[in-house]
Amino acid sequence: MTPDLDSDPGPLAANKTTVAPLRPAAPEGLDVLIAGGLFLALLGAMIGIILLLDPPGHHPLDTPSAKLTLTAIVLLGQNIAILAGAGAASWRRHLAPARLLAFRPLSWPLCLLAILAGAIMGIGLDFAVQLVQHLLGLPLRTPGAELLAPAGFTWTAFATIFVLGALLAPFCEEVLFRGLLFGWLRRRMRAWLAALLSAIPFGIMHVEPLHVLYATVAGFLLALLFHRTGSLWASIIAHVTINAIAIISVYVALAAGVPISQI
């Protein structure tokens, strides 16, 4: 029999041999507003500062090192804002973050399954995006390649973007979009609809049209993975795998001499 996707906290979580029991507390709408509001406020402030430092038509920050620094500041700042918002929500509710966000421990088999799921998502979605580009007659590009490699290939750039983009960003984004937003929505509607609605703002955050499509589908699948396992660690591990594959592939191509405009 196929497990019910709308059960809560998820059929895999019910197996006490694979997931340690932990009863999560349902996030409230105010929790989502606090975390999302801090995230949007700080992101808007950073964009405003960047526009003041580098107004349209002038390019004082148009050097590889400046681009890398700005990218690192934006990534670090938005992730700190998410963590601060989640911490404020936990403090307001007098709950440990692990309980509010369903940080259930995962067994090694489920960790490996999450890695495999992330790899399939990353490779499959990249293929799907390239297929869309081919059908529309667009150049075959990796979504967000310029953001992943703002300074071209250097080991410093690779290490910086990998730590911030493949490790920190997935953790923080899962906290906000799956742990809080999806966790709140799934108490009010069917799981697949909650997954879709929580994936839309996650996709829009990535700005570039094809990247928005890529991220929206990924967010939907990550939410279902979280729901089925009952642990936010599952979607975090899968998200880390997706981003790591994307970043490594871009920097391998750059190291091989492929221009960023052709990746």
pTM of the model: 0.86
Q: Please report, for the chain, the start and end positions of each structural domain, with discontinuous segments joined by +.
A: 29-262
**For residue range 191-208, what is the model confidence (pLDDT) as tens digits?**
999 999 999 999 998 888
With a cut of 50, say whether residue 135 has pLDDT above it.
yes
Reference 194, options 173, 214, 223; nearest CA is: 223
Mean pLDDT along residues 81-90: 89
Mean pLDDT along residues 232-254: 96
What pLDDT is attached to residue 12?
Answer: 57
On average, the pLDDT of the chain sits at: 85
What pLDDT is attached to residue 57?
Answer: 61
What pLDDT is attached to residue 58?
Answer: 60
Query: With pLDDT > 90 as the criterion, what percentage of the chain qualifies?
Result: 48
CB 230 within 8 A of CB 5: no
Return the DSSP state at 90.
H
Window from 56-60, 141-145, 184-188 with minimum mean pLDDT: 56-60
With a cut of 80, say whether residue 11 has pLDDT above it.
no
What pLDDT is attached to residue 189?
Answer: 93
Mean pLDDT along residues 217-228: 97
Nearest-angstrom CA–CA distance, 220 and 200: 8
Greater confidence (1 vs 251) lies with 251
Window from 1-15, 118-132, 169-183, 244-258 with minimum mean pLDDT: 1-15
**For residue range 158-184, what is the model confidence (pLDDT) as tens digits?**
999 999 999 999 999 999 999 999 999
What pLDDT is attached to residue 17?
Answer: 44
3-state secondary structure 215-260: HHHHHHHHHHHHHHHCCHHHHHHHHHHHHHHHHHHHHHHHHCCCCH
Mean pLDDT along residues 99-127: 94
Binned at pLDDT 50, 70 and 90, residue 28 comes out as confident
